[in-house]
Amino acid sequence: MINLDPIRPRDAEALVGLMDELERFYGGEPTEPLDDQLAQIEAALFCTAPAAYVLMAWDEDKPAGFASYSFLWPAAGFTKSLYLKELYVAEAYRRTGLGRQFMDELHRIARFNECSRVEWTTDAPNEQARAFYASLGYAENGSKVFYRSTL
C-alpha cells in the first residue's frame, strides 16, 4: 500500500533522488552536488515561511513519487488557490493509481485550506500527462498564456 505524507527533513535525500529522475525524464542531467541540493530543499521547505509544500509517496520505505505545491492569492475574488508545481510518479509506480491518489489528496488539502480551485500546468509535448489529466475528467484550459523569465 502506498502512503502519502508531508515531507520531513529526513526525506530530503529521497526527494533529491526523485527530482533527479524527473530531470532525466525531461531530458536533462542533474548537475548540482547532493549537498547543494539538500541545502536548497532545507531553505525552501523547512523554514518559517516555506516556499512550497511537498507530499511524498512511500511504498514501505521506498520513495514512489512526490507532488510539490504552493498556495497563491488572489484566485477567484479574494480566495486562494492551490498551485501544483510538480507531480512525479516513479516509473515503477505509473499506472497503479498513484497519480489519482495524489490528485485526490491535493484536492482534499485545497478544500481544507479553503481554496477556490486547484491549478497546474504540464508541458505541451507531455502527452502522457495530458492523457492522465483528461482521464480524470480535467479539461485543458486555453485561456492563459504562460511566461517565464530566467534570472
We report the CATH number of the domain holding residue 37 as: 3.40.630.30
Taking only the tens place, the pLDDT of each residue in 2-54 is 999 999 999 999 999 999 999 998 899 888 899 999 999 999 999 999 999 99
Taking only the tens place, the pLDDT of each residue in 116-125 is 999 999 999 9
Name the residue range of residue 29's domain.
Answer: 2-135
Q: Give domain status of residue 25, yes or no.
A: yes
C-alpha dihedral sign at 124, 126, 127, 131: negative
Taking only the tens place, the pLDDT of each residue in 71-110 is 999 998 999 999 999 999 999 999 999 999 999 999 999 9
Q: Give domain status of residue 145, yes or no.
A: no
Encode 26-47 in three state secondary structure.
CCCCCCCCHHHHHHHHHHHHCC
User: Is it the case that residue 131 has pLDDT exceeding 90?
Assistant: yes
Q: What is the count of structural domains for the chain? A: 1
Q: Give domain status of residue 150, yes or no.
A: no
This prediction's pTM: 0.92
Q: Give domain status of residue 30, yes or no.
A: yes
Cell numbers given for 116: 477556490
pLDDT for the residue numbered 84: 98
